């Protein structure tokens, strides 16, 4: 597989303070980039998939930039897990 395309049409961040949004998004992007860079992970996902909605359940949001970064990374790991199913 030589190309991976991920499209996230909408990211709803209810309850996330404006100053926490960017760190959360950056952590989400970074963690997903790492996952897609790993050939083993990519091989597990080597099939066409569409998920109109992906519900990840409750995830805690800690205070400040660190809390939002941890949440972004946690969301990315949950997405990775969902794609492996």
Each residue's pLDDT, cut to its tens digit, for the chain (85 residues) gives 456 666 777 788 888 888 999 999 999 999 988 888 888 777 776 666 666 677 777 888 888 899 999 999 998 888 887 777 6
**From the CB of residue 1, how many other CB atoms can be counted at a distance below 10 Å?**
9
**36: number of Cβ within 10 Å:** 15
Please report whether residue 26 resides in a domain.
yes
With contact defined as beta carbons under 8 Å apart, do 76 and 27 qualify? yes
Contacts of 69 (CB under 8 A, 6+ apart): 23, 24, 26, 27
Q: How much is the pLDDT for 37? A: 81
Task: Give the helix/strand (H/E) hosting 20.
Answer: helix 18-37
CA 75 and chain centroid, separation: 5
Residue 50 lies in a domain: no
Q: For position 48, what pLDDT does the model report? A: 64
Q: Is residue 25 part of a domain?
A: yes
Count of domains for the chain = 1
Q: State the pTM of this model.
A: 0.74
Domain that holds residue 33: 18-45+61-83
């Amino acid at each position: 597989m030589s190309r991976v395309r991920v499209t996230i049409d909408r990211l709803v961040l209810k309850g996330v303070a404006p100053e926490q949004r960017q760190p959360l998004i950056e952590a989400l992007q970074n963690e997903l980039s790492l996952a897609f860079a790993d050939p083993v992970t990519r091989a597990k996902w080597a099939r066409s998939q569409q998920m109109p909605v992906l519900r990840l359940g409750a995830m805690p949001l800690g205070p400040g930039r660190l809390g939002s970064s941890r949440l972004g990374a946690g969301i990315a790991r949950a997405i990775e897990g969902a794609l492996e199913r």
